[in-house]
Amino acid sequence: MISGDRSSPEPIIRLTNVSRRYRSGRATIHAVRSVSLSLAPGTTTALVGPSGSGKTTLVNLVVGAEPPDDGSVDRRHDLGDSWHHIAFVPQGLGLMGELTIAENIELPGRLGGPTPRRSGELIDSLELRALGPRFPADVSLGEQQRAAVARAAIVEPLLLVADEPTAHQDEGRARAVMDELCGLATRGSAVLIATHERRILDRVDSIITMRDGEIVESATSDRPPASI
């Protein structure tokens, strides 16, 4: 059983007034400006906004890939750094080229710790059965993306963060990806999804809209933003 109390109402992670800046020549780029956000167990949150709005930078701050320049990132005491606590599906997918699709999916388990989901179950639900023996370079980008989702889901992490996880999927396969992500929340994970796609917004609990590095709107999924 994965460590961590999935029934606790305490947020798994809380960002308070975080900012992130980059230098570009003599200019300073404010990618994220004084953003506060908390993610609770058993919830799905969509992070939306136009390209350049700061979504990916905020995702990186949540998973710890980048430090904030200002503000604080507070994790619940039982949230560690392993795959079994935080699983990440980046836009670049991060599959290991020397491993097959099946081996990539099973990698978190091989690194130690429990894998509550069976790899075969995920391979079937995400339509990857015929691709298991192949290498990432030999399958489509959409198939690689579903494999990256399966690799993250196999451990049922306390926190799963996915950056554009349905961007390369047709309607049916996007639905299959969302079935997996929403299923994780049902079992107690906190799920954060950065997306441009309106078609998935009715599957999440809340929607946060970013523009120019700031959160400009928070809404429930029954009141989606006018534009993303």
Summarised one tens digit per residue, pLDDT across range 54-74 is: 999 999 999 999 999 999 999
Query: What is the share, in percent, of the chain residues with pLDDT greater than 70?
Result: 92
- Res 8: pLDDT: 65
- Res 78: pLDDT: 85
Residue (of 67, 64, 63, 72) closest to 31 by Cα position = 67
Instruction: Give the pLDDT mean for 189-200.
Output: 94
Q: Share the mean pLDDT of the chain.
A: 90
Min mean pLDDT across 31-45, 78-92, 108-122, 170-184 is at 108-122
Pairing of strands 13-24, 70-75: antiparallel
- Res 1: pLDDT: 37
- Res 71: pLDDT: 97
- Res 220: pLDDT: 78
d(CA 220, CA 201): 9
- Res 108: pLDDT: 85
Query: What is the share, in percent, of the chain residues with pLDDT greater than 90?
Result: 72
Instruction: Give the pLDDT mean for 138-164.
Output: 95
Per-residue pLDDT band for 83 (boundaries 50, 70, 90) equals: confident
- Res 228: pLDDT: 52
Cβ of 80: how many Cβ atoms within 10 Å?
Answer: 13
Residue (of 205, 207, 197, 206) closest to 177 by Cα position = 197
Q: Which residues contact 165 (CB under 8 A, 6 or more apart)?
A: 89, 145, 148, 149, 177, 181, 193, 195
Residue 148 has pLDDT above 50, yes or no: yes
- Res 118: pLDDT: 81
Q: How far is CA 182 from the centre of its chain?
A: 12
Instruction: Give the pLDDT mean for 204-216.
Output: 95
Instruction: Give the pLDDT mean for 204-215.
Output: 95
Amino acid at 108: P
Per-residue pLDDT band for 7 (boundaries 50, 70, 90) equals: low
The 3-state DSSP class for residue 176 equals helix
Residue (of 86, 82, 91, 166) closest to 126 by Cα position = 166
Residue 225 has pLDDT above 60, yes or no: no
Tell me the domains of the chain and their CATH numbers.
13-220 (3.40.50.300)
d(CA 118, CA 108): 12
**For the whole model, what pTM was predicted?**
0.90
